[in-house]
């Protein structure tokens, strides 16, 4: 068990480009979450998967954002036509069953120039 | 709207100087209150979950307590390695019980 893994750790992109992040949760965890964190703020909920089903998307997640979790394993978060306001740390977390104890990855730091 | 407010925003302590961090939350529909520790460039690391007023949990130099409207994280005789941002979060009862609402955190610096 190596914990929650996120790739890449850092991403620098130009405004208007598309980016995709990957998250590999702890293997037996059926729940997967994406959060976004900006400097000086706590993490904000973006979306939640139970197995392969995406059960909730935050209003923070505009149409430019899409997340998938094929076969209930790893997850990807794609941002299309990036904007400077998308610059943030994108955190993935996983948990098992109804246990709210979340295990977070180290995040992907996105900088949009 | 669910809210979590942490104070102070930042706290500097000398090694061995005990203190407490505060987390106040909207009471309605609380399922659980969580404390996480976050080091720079890392994701939050789980510390404690508290479910009911009067509950206390301890881990090394940290003790978390819960009242009906706030939670405290007490740090006894802190060491420099306790320096981090401490985040408080709440989970709701009901259908969205998987979603955590975080406060902005308290940045703790412990000087040797």
How does pLDDT run along chain A (113 residues), one tens digit per residue?
579 999 999 999 999 999 999 999 999 899 999 999 999 999 999 999 999 999 989 988 889 999 999 988 999 999 999 999 999 999 999 998 766 789 999 999 999 99
| pLDDT (0 to 100) of residue A7 | 97
Cα-based distances in Å from B24 to B42, B103, B108: 25, 9, 18
| SS3 assignment, position B82 | helix
Q: What are phi and psi of A97, to 5 degrees?
A: 60, -140
> Whose CA is closest to A93, among A36, A53, A52, A38?
A36
Q: How far does A103 lie from chain B, in Å, by closest CA? A: 7
Strand-pairing partners, residue B105, are none
Q: Would you state the structure tokens that stand for residue A44, as one six-digit string? A: 């904000």
A50-64, B59-73, B85-99: which is most confident: B59-73
Q: B3 falls in which pLDDT band (50, 70, 90)?
A: confident
| Eight-class DSSP state of A27 | T
Give B-chain residues touching A57 at CB under 8 angstroms.
none
> Whose CA is closest to A81, among A64, A63, A60, A61?
A64
Lookup result for tokens 């003790």: B63
The Cα–Cα gap between A112 and A79 comes to 11
Q: Provide the CA B46 distance to its chain's centre, in angstroms.
A: 10
Q: Report the mean per-residue pLDDT for chain B.
A: 93
B48 or B94: which leads in pLDDT: B48
Mutant choice from B44, B48, B104 vs A, greatest count of A C-beta within 10 A: B44
Query: Rounded to 10 degrees, what is the CA torsion of A10, A58, B71, B59?
Result: -40
Alpha helix (H) residue ranges in chain A? none
Q: What are phi and psi of B8, to 5 degrees?
A: -75, 170
Q: What are phi and psi of B39, to 5 degrees?
A: -90, 155
| pLDDT (0 to 100) of residue B95 | 67
Cα-based distances in Å from B41 to A9, A107, B9, B51, B62: 9, 8, 19, 29, 22
Asked if the Cβ–Cβ distance from A43 to B100 is below 8 Å, we say yes
Q: How far does A99 lie from chain B, in Å, by closest CA? A: 8
Instruction: Please list, residue by residue across A50-63, b when 16 or more beta carbons sit within 10 angstroms of its beta carbon and e when fewer do.
Output: eeeeeebbbeebee
> 42-81 in A: which are within 8 Å (CB) of B?
42-45, 48, 56
> 43-102 in B: which are within 8 Å (CB) of A?
43-46, 49, 87, 89, 91, 96-102
Give B-chain residues touching A33 at CB under 8 angstroms.
98
Residue A91 near residue A104 (C-beta atoms within 8 A): yes
């Amino acid at each position: 068990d190596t914990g929650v893994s996120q790739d890449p750790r850092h991403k620098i992109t130009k405004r208007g480009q598309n980016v995709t992040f990957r998250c590999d949760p702890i293997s037996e965890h059926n729940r997967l979450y994406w959060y976004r964190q900006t400097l000086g703020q706590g993490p904000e909920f973006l979306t939640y998967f139970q197995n392969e089903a995406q059960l909730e998307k935050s209003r923070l997640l505009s149409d430019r954002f899409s997340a998938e979790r094929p076969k209930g394993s790893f997850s990807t978060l794609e941002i299309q036509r990036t904007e400077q306001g998308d610059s943030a740390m994108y955190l993935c977390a996983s948990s098992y069953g109804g246990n709210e104890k979340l295990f977070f990855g180290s995040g992907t730091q996105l900088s949009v120039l | 709207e669910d809210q979590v407010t942490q104070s102070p925003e930042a706290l500097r302590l000398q090694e061995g100087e005990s203190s407490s961090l505060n987390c106040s939350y909207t009471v309605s529909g609380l399922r659980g209150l969580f404390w996480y520790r976050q080091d720079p460039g890392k994701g939050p690391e789980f510390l404690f979950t508290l479910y009911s007023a009067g509950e206390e949990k301890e881990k090394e130099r940290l003790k978390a307590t819960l009242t009906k409207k706030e939670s405290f994280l007490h740090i006894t005789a802190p060491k420099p390695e306790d320096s981090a941002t401490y985040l408080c979060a709440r989970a709701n009862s009901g259908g969205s019980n998987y979603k955590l609402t975080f406060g902005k955190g308290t940045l703790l610096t412990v000087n040797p």
